Amino acid sequence: MAVNAPVHGICRDCLSRASPGERRCKACGSPRVLRHEELGALSIAHIDCDAFYAAVEKRDDPSLRDKPVIIGGGKRGVVSTCCYIARINGVRSAMPMFKALEACPEAVVIKPDMEKYVRVGRQVREMMLALTPLVEPLSIDEAFLDLSGTERLHGAEPAFVLARFARQVEDEIGITVSVGLSYCKFLAKVASDFNKPRGFSVIGRDEALSFLAQQPVTIIWGVGKAFSATLANDGIRTIDQLQRLERADLMRRYGTMGDRLHRLSRGMDTRTVEPRGEAKSVSSETTFDKDIAAFEELVPVLRALSERVSARLKKAEIAGRTVVLKLKTADFRIRTRNRQLGDPTRLADRIFHTGLDMLKRETDGTRFRLLGIGVSDLTDVAKADPPDLVDRLSHKRALAEGAIDSLREKYGREAVETGYTFGRAKKARPQREDD
Ligand SMILES: [Mg+2]
């Protein structure tokens, strides 16, 4: 990463230009001088806020500054975010709260205030949009930015603009970010994760292959717990092993995922930064190998699709007010059915049960070749699923769902199957999307 070659640098604290050879910034004495041979040539960035929820809470209550802080729900809940002090004590996100408190009994536990986090996340995004219109948010606190061609506008190269941005976020919002800068999305994202918090890592074209060779396969997008276990079973643990395999070989073994492994292991990633306006809907659908007419056979598919939609809503911190069911008959006729909810949702359970109701009316012996479920009328998550409006049973289900999501995040989808998909997951699981 940042190499010590004699190249000009940028002081990340005072934003002075540093001459070749100076280890510290001459102007302010800071050791945080950014140097890289390709610094002037890279323009794809990934910006990620550090321990976002915890950082916002610390900002708003300075007495928390030097204390371990955990954001999460209740004693039975799980850790949603924890600050770096809590991490040093062994706390991790998605950890059950009782375990986290075992590891770090002195931690201050704070209930998440989503409305506030959404507001702060928007502020950060507004500041990103002042740099370039090409901002692709990945979640409430991270986004890709493409700064190509903005040098004249800003009077500075992307690396400088990003260093200034990081400082500006600290000064004006009071939280910190980590920046990854590279020539493609994959490596920008890998880089931003490299020396958190307050990191700024650069991965250039020249070093991409050798850098990747030393990394575990798990840094590749889409290689989760389950797939990395498959790879480990085949004796593949590091990227240099992938680099030595032929594309055809990888494709034969792992299908389209093999192609992705081939490309990303070599730092080949041509995906562009896609600025996302407000999405109109979030949905997931699957085409069956064989047409299905039986309601009971469609139910687990609907459940799996609902969970996928819900996971995407949660990741994007949005919710939808209208549930949309889509069916395609064996003779290619499309049926869509909508139902509006009293308040927006992002919960798989509510999406599923609303969809189930509509599905019941459609299963009249017709054979279907496709089933899809989604939500539209998107809004931000602050208004979604108010506990006082949801009956007690479904509130419990909502809490359970939060726990299931955290486990899945940690152990992969297979770790938790609900009653509807249990044992039938192989058959019912929707096709993998390219997300
Ligand atoms: Mg983050």
Condensed to tens digits (0 to 9), the pLDDT of residues 65-112 reads: 999 999 987 556 889 899 999 999 999 988 999 999 999 999 999 998
Statement: residue 217 has pLDDT above 90: yes
CATH value of 209-265 in 3.90.1170.40, 3.40.190.10, 1.20.810.10, 1.10.150.20: 1.10.150.20
Token output for 98: 């009782």
pLDDT digits (tens, 9 = 90+) for 6-54: 678 999 999 999 888 888 999 999 999 999 999 999 999 999 999 999 9
CA distance 273 to 412: 27
Task: Please say whether the beta carbons of 71 and 110 come within 8 A.
Answer: yes
Statement: residue 2 has pLDDT above 60: no
Task: Please say whether the beta carbons of 24 and 12 come within 8 A.
Answer: no
On the CB side of 228, CA atoms within 13 Å amount to 17
CA distance 172 to 169: 5
Q: Is 57 a catalytic residue?
A: no
Token output for 186: 């994959």
DSSP state of 273: P
CA distance 296 to 385: 28
From residue 72, give the alpha-carbon distance in Å to each of 107, 116, 178, 340.
Answer: 12, 15, 23, 30
Please tell me the distance between residue 318's alpha carbon and the centre of ligand 1 in angstroms.
17
Coil, strand, or helix at residue 376? Answer: strand
DSSP state of 220: S
Please tell me the distance between residue 197's alpha carbon and the centre of ligand 1 in angstroms.
9
CATH 3.40.1170.60 residue ranges in the chain?
52-115
Token output for 274: 């896609």
CA distance 224 to 311: 15
pLDDT at 378 (0 to 100): 82
CA distance 35 to 10: 7
Q: What angle do CA 418, 423, 428 make, to 5 degrees?
A: 85
Given 57, 136, 142, 409, which residue is catalytic?
142
Statement: residue 375 has pLDDT above 90: yes
CATH value of 52-115 in 3.40.640.10, 3.40.1170.60, 1.10.40.30, 3.40.50.1820: 3.40.1170.60
Token output for 143: 């986004």
Per cent of the chain over pLDDT 90 is 67
CA distance 281 to 374: 7
pLDDT digits (tens, 9 = 90+) for 252-278: 999 888 999 999 999 999 999 988 755
Please tell me the distance between residue 196's alpha carbon and the centre of ligand 1 in angstroms.
10
> Which CATH number applies to 281-428?
3.30.1490.100
pLDDT digits (tens, 9 = 90+) for 381-423: 777 887 655 555 565 666 666 666 666 655 555 445 454 544 3
User: Which sign does the torsion angle of CA 113, 95, 200, 25 carry?
Assistant: positive
Please tell me the distance between residue 249's alpha carbon and the centre of ligand 1 in angstroms.
36
pLDDT digits (tens, 9 = 90+) for 293-350: 999 999 999 999 999 999 988 887 788 989 999 999 998 888 989 998 888 899 999 9
pLDDT at 428 (0 to 100): 35
Residue 405 known to bind ligand = no
Token output for 137: 């948010």
DSSP string, 14-67: T--EE-TT-SS-TTT--S-EEE-TTGGG--EEEEEETTHHHHHHHHH-GGGTTS
CA distance 377 to 132: 27
More confident residue, 387 or 235: 235
Please tell me the distance between residue 48's alpha carbon and the centre of ligand 1 in angstroms.
5
CA distance 221 to 195: 19
CA distance 60 to 53: 11
Coil, strand, or helix at residue 83? Answer: coil
From residue 250, give the alpha-carbon distance in Å to each of 48, 209, 255.
Answer: 32, 18, 7
Coil, strand, or helix at residue 403? Answer: helix
Closest CA to 261 of 249, 273, 276, 278: 249
pLDDT at 83 (0 to 100): 96
Superfamily of domain 9-47+117-206: Reverse transcriptase/Diguanylate cyclase domain (3.30.70.270)
Residue 249 known to bind ligand = no
Please tell me the distance between residue 58's alpha carbon and the centre of ligand 1 in angstroms.
15
Closest CA to 55 of 207, 172, 173: 173
Q: For 109, left (φ over 0), alpha (ψ -120 to 50), or beta? A: beta
CATH 1.10.150.20 residue ranges in the chain?
209-265
pLDDT at 225 (0 to 100): 85
> 327-361 b/e with 16+ CB inside 10 Å = b?
bbbeeeeeeebeeebeebbbbbbbbbbbbbebbee
pLDDT at 427 (0 to 100): 36
Please tell me the distance between residue 20's alpha carbon and the centre of ligand 1 in angstroms.
33
